[in-house]
Amino acid sequence: MTDSNSAHTLLEQLRRIGACDCRALDAATALVSDGEKVLLAAQLAQVATHIRTHIANPRGLPPPDILPGSNSGRLNLSVQPASVTVAAVFVRNTLHGWGWADVLVDTEYAVRELLTAFVTAVEAATPTAPTRMTLRLRALSHRRLVVELRDCPANAGIIADAGHLVSAQVERISVHSGQHTAAGRTVLWCELARPELSRWI
């Protein structure tokens, strides 16, 4: 069977499973132990998450939270060059705490690029008072990480008018990335993939 045939066969199986009603699922899972039900539920949740993370958002929005209770970290920063160093420490500590060191280099790079563009845009507008930005890291799934950088009311107009701030380098290392402005507020974001195990073997 060719790869194309295998893909079509798998797609049909996924569609059949997705269309099953509760009674059919209950009848099928009545044949297995509770332990196997737990395993199947976990595997199907991973499949669903994997499919969801491959949906590109045409409006430039970051992906929504998928897994309740998944890892997430937030840091409020002053908009100044020194914040890039503070953010790097936050990224390193957060990802090591999650056991996500395999995506650390790309995440540090993306955060540095996004923060530098943000700080440069705000400083070019010479604001009269210090402003803030919020960096957020969140695990979208066990394989994907989203980096978000959000404005604050005091610099929202500056960032909204600054043009495209997500660099080509960030776009290159990301699965998806974007800059979304709605109701005068902007978020810069990118979605990073953890490397496949085969890359390290």
pLDDT digits (tens, 9 = 90+) for 40-74: 776 776 666 556 655 555 556 666 665 555 789 99
d(CA 130, CA 123): 10
For the ranges 84-88, 91-95, 127-131, 164-168, the lowest mean pLDDT is seen at 127-131
d(CA 82, CA 94): 19
Percent of the chain with pLDDT over 90: 57
State the pLDDT at residue 54: 53
pLDDT above 70 (res 75): yes
pLDDT above 90 (res 82): yes
User: Using the 8-state DSSP alphabet, how is residue 140 labeled?
Assistant: S
Nearest to 145 by CA among 112, 108, 182: 108
Mean pLDDT of 174-194: 93
> pTM for this structure?
0.71
Kind plus residue range of the DSSP H or E element containing 5 = helix 3-19
State the pLDDT at residue 10: 81
pLDDT above 50 (res 170): yes
d(CA 148, CA 89): 16
For the ranges 23-32, 53-62, 131-140, 143-152, the lowest mean pLDDT is seen at 53-62
Cβ neighbours for 159, distance < 8 A, ≥ 6 positions apart:
118, 121, 122, 151, 165, 181, 186
Nearest to 71 by CA among 99, 46, 47, 111: 99
State the pLDDT at residue 87: 98
State the pLDDT at residue 6: 84
Kind plus residue range of the DSSP H or E element containing 36 = helix 34-52
Average pLDDT, the chain: 85
166 is written with which tokens?
A: 């997500």
Query: DSSP string covering 147-160, please?
Result: EEEE--TTTHHHHH
